[in-house]
Amino acid sequence: MTRARILIIEDESRIAQLLDRGLKCEGFQTSIAPDGRAGLASARENPPDLVILDWMLPGIDGLEVCRNLKAVGDAAILMLTARNDIQYRVNGLEAGADDYLVKPFSIDELIARVRALLRRAAPISHPEVLRFSDIALDTGTRRAYRGAVAIDLTAKEYQLLELFMRNPRQVLTRDVIYDRVWGYNFGGASNIIEVYVRYLRKKTEVQGGSRLIHTVRGMGYVLRED
């Protein structure tokens, strides 16, 4: 998985640093530009996947930067503004912003929006057949097989199995699984992952198939052969 590159265009360095730290913690690559001119130069030189763009900037304002960004690349744009006014929101979206966040916002909210935008922007991947051990998962038909036996999966079971199949032999923490499969965090109290892992094991272990989804105590789960 490549790490998404995020450009932060924000003149208030306190906010820029806060965003920078929060996004880095989540594994994103970040860079900061203190004004629109520097931001556009950075976007041309090193095209980002997503731009967090403050509305009120010295020199070229955020709306103008937004229009220019749309002209030079296809990065998703999340605008930040202190103005909680529907009219400005409409202007921002017309200028090409993909989403909008009103200051003050929580870093968790911002990260959730960033993830949603990046998911939306992700290209639709070509169908392929993922294989691990004797399991095959067809991402086109969304059907799974263990050996020659077809396994019927619900939508969530499919997503969970696909996540394991794309990351074999890697321990997937509960947080990562929540984020990738459910798109939000249940806050640690939910046992929904355990429930779905149990369903998947039941379905993949019929007819005496060996266990492939293992619990790593205190950490999460891993797809491996023993």
User: Rule CB under 5 A: which residues touch Ca ion?
Assistant: 11, 54, 56
Please state the closest distance from residue 57 (CB atom) to Ca ion, in A.
Answer: 6
Please state the closest distance from residue 107 (CB atom) to Ca ion, in A.
Answer: 17
**Other CB atoms within 10 Å distance of the CB of residue 1:** 6
Residue closer to Ca ion (CB basis): 57 or 193: 57
Strands 129-132 and 135-138, sheet pairing: antiparallel
Residue closer to Ca ion (CB basis): 61 or 175: 61
Please state the closest distance from residue 192 (CB atom) to Ca ion, in A.
Answer: 40
**Nearest alpha carbon to residue 203 among 169, 161, 168:** 161
Q: 86-94 and 62-72 are packed helices; what angle lies between their axes, rounded to 10 degrees?
A: 30
Residue closer to Ca ion (CB basis): 88 or 145: 88
Please state the closest distance from residue 29 (CB atom) to Ca ion, in A.
Answer: 23
Residue closer to Ca ion (CB basis): 56 or 192: 56
Please state the closest distance from residue 121 (CB atom) to Ca ion, in A.
Answer: 25
Q: Which residue is nearest to Ca ion (CB)?
A: 56
Please state the closest distance from residue 3 (CB atom) to Ca ion, in A.
Answer: 26
Q: 13-25 and 107-121 are packed helices; what angle lies between their axes, rounded to 10 degrees?
A: 60
Residue closer to Ca ion (CB basis): 56 or 130: 56
Residue closer to Ca ion (CB basis): 10 or 162: 10
Please state the closest distance from residue 201 (CB atom) to Ca ion, in A.
Answer: 51
Residue closer to Ca ion (CB basis): 38 or 56: 56
